[in-house]
């Protein structure tokens, strides 16, 4: 069976090199002067910070922005975001330590990004998610005093309770809910499907009764994450409203003192914004969100990840060869899905730019392709190692750099680093 992922890029052409910021181009050409072939991520922390500032400024004061560290855990990016977000969302001990380190650094000279942030001496502004949190992970979260552990099941609630009692403390928990339905139109992944995530809505009453009886737990609210890559501001705002209204109603019906509503992430990224695809309208989203009126004292948490960091990063890999085979052209990279797996895993067209590199060893043939459709592949011994198919390029040569914009989220963290044992991609902060 032939492998056809990712989908064909035809009739697209590669972006011109001028879409790459000048200082990025300079840095890449510096790296190309080195002895090792280039395979690296480059990040601009100020781009991520600008995204966070814009979202935070558009939202009402009762909303809080917690960066989802899973999207990009490079310490320089996390530190760049820290002054401009209200907290972090984590899913492991490693992410928790990154978040705590950034918050400590922020506390030396920073201040909460909004009045929704916990007061000094209150809970640490970290929320935790994940369907299979282990006892060591839960213990670290309880000891850290995080703002909310999003509990996924009755067993997890019992584990948190046991840990909190043993530690002589109280753990704040929010029940993650898999809703039966979300009556909102737009680009949303609806609830009600079987999932390892959260408690099915019909089970919520029984699970809440059990949670409210357990010692060492402070049930503060709910976590509902049912949106995915939504580019429509109106439907995302309607989703926020629905989450708040559902939580208020459920808290009233089941005796929960509601203080916390976590709507997850879901704000989309226009991967082809460089080609004119319309991006998410932050101002419109903020305007509509401002019309929602949560009860006094209720903090509504958003967990953007990809939205904040997708366009702050680029993945660049050196062309090791250009091969012509039965009428097709393959551009072979030093790298591939062992470094950048997103296009294949998500079955999407992720366009490229070609950055010419003039340096080339004297006397060595330099294969190239000009005015041709090419397929960009990696260095792994599998046809699945394909990053772009059938994209037209003006010219590409061995030794040039292929650059993937919008690689700041789910890039380095999402790759198959150990497969075949090639060196992992470097990471640099511009």
The tens digit of pLDDT for each residue in 343-354 reads 988 888 999 999
Q: Which candidate in 2, 381, 418, 421 is catalytic? A: 381
- Bigger pLDDT: 110 vs 223: 223
- Give the pLDDT mean for 288-303: 98
Domain boundary among 272, 287, 309: 309
What is the pLDDT confidence band of residue 338, given thresholds at 50, 70 and 90?
A: very high
Quick one: angle between helices 282-289 and 233-254, nearest 10?
30
Are 157 and 151 within 8 A, CB to CB?
yes
Q: Is residue 294 located within the same domain as residue 361?
A: no
Q: Which of 285, 309, 333 is the last residue of a domain?
A: 309
Q: Quick one: 121 and 154 in the same domain?
A: yes
Output 112 or 299, whichever has higher pLDDT: 299
Give the separation between CA 429 and CA 74, rounded to whole angstroms: 9
Model's pTM, two decimal places?
A: 0.93
Asked if residue 5 is part of any domain, the answer here is no
DSSP state of 338: T
- 208: CATH: 3.20.20.10
Per-residue pLDDT, 115: 45
Could you tell me the residue range of the domain that residue 398 belongs to? 17-43+311-429
Decide if 381 is catalytic.
Answer: yes
In whole numbers, what is the pLDDT of the chain averaged over residues?
93
Mean pLDDT of 331-336: 97
The string of DSSP letters for 147-197 reads: EEEEE-SHHHHHHHHHHHHHHTS-EEEEEEEE-S-----SSB--S-S--SS
Is residue 12 a part of any domain in this protein? Answer: no
Q: Are residues 317 and 417 in the same domain?
A: yes
Residue 79, both tokens: 């530190």
The CATH number for 325's domain is: 2.40.37.10
Distant-in-sequence, close-in-space partners of 248: CB < 8 Å, separation ≥ 6: 258, 294, 295, 298
- Tell me whether residue 414 is in a domain: yes
The three-state secondary structure class of 408 is coil
Residue 90 shares a structural domain with residue 227 = yes
Question: Beta strands 353-355 and 124-128: pairing type?
Answer: unpaired
- What's the pLDDT tens digit per position in 132-179? 999 999 999 999 999 999 999 999 999 999 999 999 999 999 999 999
Q: Where are the alpha helices (DSSP H) in 108-153?
A: 135-144
Q: How high is the pLDDT of residue 187?
A: 65
The Cα 384–Cα 370 span in angstroms is 25
Quick one: 391 and 407 in the same domain? yes
């Amino acid at each position: 069976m032939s492998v056809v992922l990712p989908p064909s890029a035809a009739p697209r052409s590669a972006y011109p090199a001028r879409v790459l910021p000048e200082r990025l181009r300079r840095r890449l050409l510096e790296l190309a002067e080195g002895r090792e072939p280039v395979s690296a991520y480059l990040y601009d922390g100020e781009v991520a910070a600008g995204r966070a500032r814009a979202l935070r400024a558009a939202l009402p004061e009762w909303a809080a922005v917690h960066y989802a560290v899973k999207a990009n855990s490079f310490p320089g990016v996390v530190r760049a975001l820290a002054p401009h977000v209200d907290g972090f969302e984590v899913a492991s001990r490693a992410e928790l330590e990154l978040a705590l380190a950034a918050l400590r650094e922020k506390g030396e000279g920073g201040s909460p990004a909004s009045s929704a942030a916990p007061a000094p001496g209150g809970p640490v502004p970290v929320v935790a998610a994940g369907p299979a949190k282990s006892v060591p992970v839960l213990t670290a979260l309880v000891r850290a005093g995080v703002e909310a552990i999003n509990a996924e099941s009755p067993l997890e609630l019992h584990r948190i309770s046991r840990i909190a009692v043993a530690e002589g403390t109280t753990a704040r928990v929010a029940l993650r809910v898999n809703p039966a339905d979300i009556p909102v139109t737009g680009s949303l992944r609806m609830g009600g499907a079987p999932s390892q995530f959260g408690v099915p809505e019909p089970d919520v009453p029984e699970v809440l009764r059990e949670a409210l009886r357990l010692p060492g737990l402070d049930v503060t609210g709910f976590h509902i994450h049912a949106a995915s890559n939504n580019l429509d501001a109106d439907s995302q705002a309607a989703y926020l409203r629905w989450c708040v209204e559902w939580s208020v109603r459920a808290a009233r019906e089941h005796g929960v003192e509601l203080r916390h509503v976590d709507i997850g992430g879901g704000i989309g990224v226009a991967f082809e914004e460089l080609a004119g695809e319309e991006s998410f309208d932050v101002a419109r989203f903020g305007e509509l969100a401002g019309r929602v009126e949560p009860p006094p004292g209720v903090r509504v948490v958003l967990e953007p990840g990809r939205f904040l960091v997708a366009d702050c990063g680029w993945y660049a890999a050196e062309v090791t060869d250009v091969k012509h085979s039965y009428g097709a052209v393959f551009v072979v990279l030093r790298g591939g899905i062992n470094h950048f797996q997103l296009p294949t895993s998500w079955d999407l067209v992720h366009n490229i730019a070609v950055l010419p590199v003039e340096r080339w060893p004297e006397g060595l043939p330099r294969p190239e392709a000009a005015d041709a459709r090419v397929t960009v592949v990696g260095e792994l011994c599998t046809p699945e190692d394909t990053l772009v198919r059938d994209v037209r390029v003006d010219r590409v040569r061995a030794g040039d750099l292929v650059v993937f914009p919008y690689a700041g989220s789910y890039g380095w963290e999402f790759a198959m680093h150990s497969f075949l044992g090639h060196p992992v991609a470097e990471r640099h902060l511009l």
